[in-house]
Structure 1
Amino acid sequence: MKALHEGGVVIVTGAGGGIGRAAAQVFAREGAIVVLADVSRTAGEEAAHQVVQSGGEAIFVPTDVTKGEEVRRLVSVAIEKYGKLTAAFNNAGIEGPLAPTADYDEAEWDRVIQVNLKGIWNCLRFEIPEMVKAGKGSIVNTASALGQVGAWSMPAYVASKHAVLGLTRTAALDYAPHGVRVNALMPGVVETPMMMSRVFKDNPALMDILKQAHPIGRFAQPDEPAEAAVWLCSERASFVTGEALACDGGYLAH
């Protein structure tokens, strides 16, 4: 069977760790050249090196997705080096601190919205024109299961992920006539360094509460939502656009 992304060129943001790093590996395994982007040069270069060590082709472009000019450069590098952009996984995001809505720090609110929402819009506005020129392309934006429901003490994160779904659906409507598909991925809790070292380290009781909220009885490993994103970006999902695909262990089912 033909590889899902044979001959393709794919951008992955937030590729330094977690779902992004796993997705870079899966895209490469499925035949794509992968352009990795992350705000951390060390993590991004390490992730790209891992792809190459596994037999894939990859480059790393340091990118802060909140800065339009850096995202413009990211897309330009992909086009100038490889001549096309067939797919993109806009995955960069942060969780922000935990605090009740009225107590949330304004600077932290702005930071979460900038990365999680403006960052994805920046990616869309530079990726889409290249795909429109080619007459086809596929984009997946990382939202969250919390893009559908609320959560205690995560107002900025939850608001940003709800907004990502709205942005995704609007972009899907705008560009479906041009052959460009835009979908969102809604992971549940994923066992990433971000979650384990920052969220659960300070809130150990939260780990048990959230695990019980996933009917499968565990958290996802990074490669599980990564596989879903790679499929959504492929031609095997050719009639899927404007969709929010849950990969959440049943979290939203109850």
Structure 2
Amino acid sequence: MSQFTHDTDNSAPKRHQHHEPVLEYTSNDEVAVISVNGCKYRRSVCVIIMNDKGLFLGCRRCDNKRVLQFVQGGARRHESPQQTAERELFEEIGLPATYLRYAGEILPVTSGDEVRAAFRYTSKSWWKRGFTGQELYPLLYLAETEVIDKLHFRAIPGVRQEFCGAMWMKLEEFVRYCQPCKATAVSNICTAVVSFAHLGFTNAAGSSLSEVDAPQGENVRDKETTPIKKRHWQRLQTQQ
């Protein structure tokens, strides 16, 4: 790994902050989070899409059709998390972000010195690239059920195809069908999503969802074009 610079991550809401992680950047501008014990985790933005029935978009991997997961991909040095999410959405499932409504960043419900430690997992597959594993950085988006008809898994010629299909799933099913090494991190994310919903239109940063104006990427629809509908949260809550 080629280190360009160190930085600290100030993106977590202040009431959740304990230890601000040090960031490093690889030679191809990937973001690495340095834990308090010195381990390096690749930051992977995780795009959670919930429909108006309280179900979530699960994508079937090409290399292991038994695995279903959220869209996700490595953060880049000069991208905001939402910009990374937009790029990965189009690269992996051919979906322009204009079909989605940004709801907020999901933070762990657990406490500790490091805000996102609960969203980390270790994997030998990352060791050869200098990482202990990955730290997932989940963002929640809302969509209409019909958005699944817009997906295209070979949207960009020359980009390796990640997924071969998709379906709407219950939240707890992601733990059952994810890669085993991710199970604890995915379970913690699912718990945090439910907590987010139970806050009643309040995101993890403490702002009303109707007032969320976090810096967006280039193509996310704004409030005026895709208003948040309360049934998104009500449907999720009835499943718990």
Q: Indicate the TM-score class for this superposition, using the shorter chain for normalisation.
A: under 0.3
Compare the two structures and name the one with the higher helix fraction: 1
Greater strand proportion: 2
Which protein, 1 or 2, shows the higher relative CO under an 8 Å CA cutoff with sep ≥ 6? 2
TM-score by length of 1: 0.26
Structure 2 length as normaliser, TM-score? 0.28
